[in-house]
């Protein structure tokens, strides 16, 4: 008879399967648990809509009317998630070269922030995307110089104005996503200057120029021609991502983010290792769309894939995850 000795297993025998034997044992030794409180739901609010409009490439997601937005906020409270990240989708007539609807108190995003902070501000952390791309006629994240390049420092002033308008509307967290140099410092100074020392910044620190944002561009009716490669990062650059996170931390950000999430887990793990502040990861529109598309074909199981994808992002080091799955999936079921 073959015994363990015949196989040269060291004694005492290491048998990791002992701890996998029953659901109760597996639950006891589970290293990574995803709590709904860690999840942030991104929500799109469209200007002047009377009905929510479905986003074709993001099944189950909508550009919301102000009414349907209120219902979503209530669902988010019910689901016990941590927060919402708000995006505004203005009408074409509200867009201009500067993106001035971004700091207009009556602009679509600032109105949405006011509604959310009044309705659910005690139960959820109300966050807003601080960026101009939804509001500019050309679709870039900043203002353009005559030669068509995005003007970094001129853009910072506009981000500062937008962040102050968002704080005034009631945002607890502003979230600069434009990848301009110095954006955290500019926004912190502007908020403090207006008496909003209490509002936090979640910086999209390492945001890559990713093809996975494709469905989002549909969601916000993006007018962008070309790409964002002069401000978002090259997907292959790891060292640079750490520098970006370090700079944002030096500039005083309260939280950092890596985006996209699932294909950047190495970057996420290393940012989590160096960061003294909480780390977020954004499971972006393309990640959501791919999982849905494969599940619709019956090629993967939706529920289990969602759970595994979120568990992996948390295992890699995310303290919180922005995900379109936050509302209708309970990540603890797997
Ligand atoms: C820019 C912004 C983008 C996303 C979040 N903020 C798009 C971009 O950089 O082109 C993408 C989110 C997603 O794909 O889910 N305001």
pLDDT of the residue at 329: 52
pLDDT of the residue at 4: 59
**Ligand 1 close to Cβ of residue 285 (< 6 A):** yes
Is 207 marked active-site?
Answer: yes
Token pair recorded at residue 214: 């494709």
Which range (7-11, 54-58, 98-102, 164-168) has the least confidence?
7-11
Mean pLDDT across 41-59: 97
Which range (3-17, 101-115, 264-278) has the least confidence?
3-17
Nearest alpha carbon, ligand 1 atom 16: 131
Q: Are 109 and 117 in contact (CB under 8 A)?
A: no
Locate the ligand 1 atom nearest the alpha carbon of residue 222 and give its number.
10
Mean pLDDT across 264-282: 98
Token pair recorded at residue 93: 């007539």
pLDDT of the residue at 116: 98
pLDDT of the residue at 14: 87
Which range (6-10, 87-91, 104-108, 294-298) has the least confidence?
6-10
Q: How far is the CA of 238 from the centre of ligand 1 (A)?
A: 20
pLDDT of 56 over the 60 cut:
yes
Token pair recorded at residue 224: 């962008």
Q: How far is the CA of 205 from the centre of ligand 1 (A)?
A: 13
Q: Give the largest CA-CA distance in the chain.
A: 83
pLDDT of 333 over the 60 cut:
no
Locate the ligand 1 atom nearest the alpha carbon of residue 285 and give its number.
15
Strand, helix or coil at 74?
Answer: helix
Strand, helix or coil at 85?
Answer: strand
Q: Are 161 and 183 in contact (CB under 8 A)?
A: no
Instruction: Work out the pLDDT band at 118, boundaries 50, 70, 90.
Output: very high
pTM: 0.94
pLDDT of the residue at 5: 62
Q: What's the DSSP call for residue 81? A: -
Q: How far is the CA of 269 from the centre of ligand 1 (A)?
A: 21
Is 229 marked active-site?
Answer: no
């Amino acid at each position: 008879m073959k015994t363990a000795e015949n196989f040269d297993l060291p004694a005492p025998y290491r048998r990791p399967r002992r701890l996998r034997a029953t659901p109760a044992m597996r639950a006891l030794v589970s290293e990574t648990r995803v709590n709904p409180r860690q999840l942030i739901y991104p929500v799109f609010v469209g200007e002047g809509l009377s009905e929510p409009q479905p986003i074709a490439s993001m099944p189950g997601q909508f550009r919301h009317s102000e009414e349907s937005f209120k219902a979503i906020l209530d669902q988010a409270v019910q689901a016990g998630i941590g927060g919402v990240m708000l995006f505004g989708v203005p009408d074409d007539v509200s867009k201009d070269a500067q993106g001035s609807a971004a700091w207009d108190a009556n602009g679509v995003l600032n109105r949405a922030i006011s509604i959310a902070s009044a309705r659910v501000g005690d139960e959820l952390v109300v966050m807003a995307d601080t960026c101009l791309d939804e509001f500019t006629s050309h679709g870039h994240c900043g203002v353009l110089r005559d030669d068509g390049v995005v003007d970094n420092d001129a853009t910072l002033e506009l981000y500062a104005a937008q962040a102050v308008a968002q704080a005034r509307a009631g945002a607890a967290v502003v979230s600069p996503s434009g990848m301009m140099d110095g954006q955290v410092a500019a926004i912190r100074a502007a908020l403090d200057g207006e008496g909003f020392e209490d509002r936090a910044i979640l910086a999209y620190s390492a945001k890559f120029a990713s093809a996975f944002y494709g469905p989002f561009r549909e969601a916000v009716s993006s007018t962008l021609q070309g790409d964002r490669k002069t401000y978002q990062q090259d997907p292959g650059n790891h060292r640079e991502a750490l520098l970006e996170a370090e700079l944002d931390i030096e500039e005083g950000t309260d939280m950092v983010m890596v985006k996209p999430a699932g294909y950047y887990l190495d970057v996420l793990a290393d940012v989590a290792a160096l960061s003294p502040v909480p780390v977020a990861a954004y499971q972006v529109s393309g990640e959501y769309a791919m999982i849905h598309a494969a599940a619709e074909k019956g090629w993967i199981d939706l529920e289990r894939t969602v759970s595994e994808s979120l568990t992996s992002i948390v295992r890699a080091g995310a303290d919180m995850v922005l995900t379109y799955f936050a509302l209708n999936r309970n990540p603890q079921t797997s």
